[in-house]
Structure 1
């Protein structure tokens, strides 16, 4: 069993816009902690921002196709040639 803080392969994180928004919120809170002068929380959110950014964008996990894990083909007209 592999330990992970967040399951980056979960279908909830499939849309790119959702990943960008989550990353931006964590990064924005890191900036808030920087300007508030809270060193402990700043380091926590800085590490969390790096972890989320790596998991969403740099981990090498390809974005899953429109097919879900059951193998259902994408709906017609979705732009994916099957």
Structure 2
């Protein structure tokens, strides 16, 4: 599966992941088990797709 070019900037991937993780934490606070599971799955998928899969460009090293 190809990576969507809108997510190429690292800040966008971090923002979307943070929003998903925040929603998951809110559901933990509220206590709704169904939405806890759903938001956990979305957050886990975002972490895998954005940071672990390796489909997005790595930022250039500023030292070089």
Q: TM-score range by the shorter chain?
A: 0.7 to 0.9
* TM-score where L is the length of structure 1: 0.66
1:17 corresponds in structure 2 to: 11
CA RMSD of aligned residues (A): 2.1
Higher-RCO chain (CA-CA 8 Å, sequence separation at least 6): 2
The match for 2:35 among 25, 30, 41 is 41
Which 4+ runs in 1 deviate beyond 2 A? none
**Structure 1 unpaired stretches of 5+:** 66-82
2:50 corresponds in structure 1 to: 56
Higher helix share: 2
**Structure 2 unpaired stretches of 5+:** 60-64
Larger radius of gyration: 1
* TM-score where L is the length of structure 2: 0.83
